[in-house]
Amino acid sequence: MIRWIGAAIATALAMQLYPMPRTNPPIETEIPAPDAVREVLNRSCYDCHSNETNWPWYAHVAPFKFFVVHHVEEARRHMNFTTWNAFSAKKRAKRLREIMEEIDEAEMPLPSYLRLHPDAKLSAKDKDLLRVWSEGLLAR
C-alpha cells in the first residue's frame, strides 16, 4: 500500500515537471466589432478563441494544465478572433454562422468553462447583440 501511495506521489510530481506551452502568439487582425460586441467576445470567448488567453493558475498545475492547454489549442485552431485575416471571405461567413449556431444551441461558452467563469455566461441581451452583429457582417 505504501509503495502505491509513493508511486502515485512520484507520478504527480513528475507530471508537474512536464512543460506545457501556454503561449499568446502575436495578434494579427481582430474580428471587426463595435465596442459592445468586443466586450462580450472578450468576456465570453477570448480566453479560448484568441491569442489573448488569460491563463489561470490551474493552467500551471497537472493534471489540469494538460486539459486547459489542449482545449485552448483546439479552440484556437477552430476559431481564433485574433487571426481573422487568415480566413477567406467564405470561411469568415461560415465561422459567423457557426458562432450563432453554437450560441443558439447553448454549446458556447462550454458548461465546463462557465463553472469556473460564471461571468462569461451569455445573457439574452448578449445573444441578441451577437446575432445582430454577425448578421450585419454576413450581409456585407
Over the chain (140 residues), the average pLDDT of each successive run of 10 is: 68 58 77 91 92 87 83 91 87 88 86 90 93 84
pLDDT value of residue 35 = 93
pLDDT value of residue 106 = 83
pLDDT value of residue 96 = 87
In the numeric block, the cell 466586450 is attached to 39
- Report d(CA 125, CA 116) in Å as an integer: 22
Residue whose C-alpha is closest to residue 103's, from 82, 76, 126: 126
pLDDT value of residue 92 = 87
Cis peptide before 63 (omega within 30 of 0): yes
For residue 94, what is its C-alpha cell?
461560415
pLDDT value of residue 140 = 73
pLDDT value of residue 118 = 94
For residue 106, what is its C-alpha cell?
447553448
pLDDT value of residue 10 = 59
pLDDT value of residue 107 = 83
pLDDT value of residue 11 = 53
Residue whose C-alpha is closest to residue 116's, from 70, 55, 31, 66: 55
Q: Domain map of the chain by residue range? A: 2-139
pLDDT value of residue 16 = 61
Query: Model-level pTM?
Result: 0.81
